[in-house]
Amino acid sequence: MFANIYVGLVHYPVYDRKHKTVCTSITNLDLHDIARSCKTYGIMNFFVINPQESQKQIFIRLKKFWKSDFAKSYNIDRFDAFDIIEFVPDISSAKVWIQKKFNRQPIVISTSARKTIGSLKYQEVRDIISKSYPKLILFGTGDGLTDEVINQSNFHLQNISGVESYNHLSVRSAVAVTLDRLISEYE
């Protein structure tokens, strides 16, 4: 039912706690956990979006290790999950990568922990992602995607609301919850 969905983990441009635009660093846990969630829910590719060459080198070393024979024998699930990860310097590069595959620009859906006017409910986004055209769902690191990224997206998904006023999930958890709400067959 759901196909041609991509996930992007944006490290730039994102906000820090003081609402300044910054570039965050990749983390090993984000790569593993998000890749495993993406693989579980049939995501085509998981883009790590970071413009810094030093971060790309860290990513290459991590991927080289997790695609090694040792890693394969140590943890086949992590080995397999790393197949879908791609490193790109910016959101535009992820969109171009997808466009080359489909000969069509993807629909971009942004997410945020903060409430945003005009956000779509999960069911509305489920209807959008059930179509065959490519979709790119963006998640922000740090204190979330900048307003510019959100405003340039085709759609924005409502924030995840828990049962308490506390609202500070790790991005790894947010990706897992979002993919489950959007893709799982539940009634």
Single pTM value for the model: 0.95
Give rounded-to-5 percent helix, strand, coil for the chain.
45, 20, 40
What does the pLDDT look like over 134-185, one tens digit per residue?
A: 999 999 999 999 999 999 999 999 999 888 888 789 999 999 999 999 998 7
Distance (Å, whole) CA 80 – CA 67: 8
What does the pLDDT look like over 86-139, one tens digit per residue?
A: 999 999 999 999 999 999 999 999 999 988 999 999 999 999 999 999 999 999
Domains (ranges, CATH) in the chain?
5-183 (3.40.1280.10)
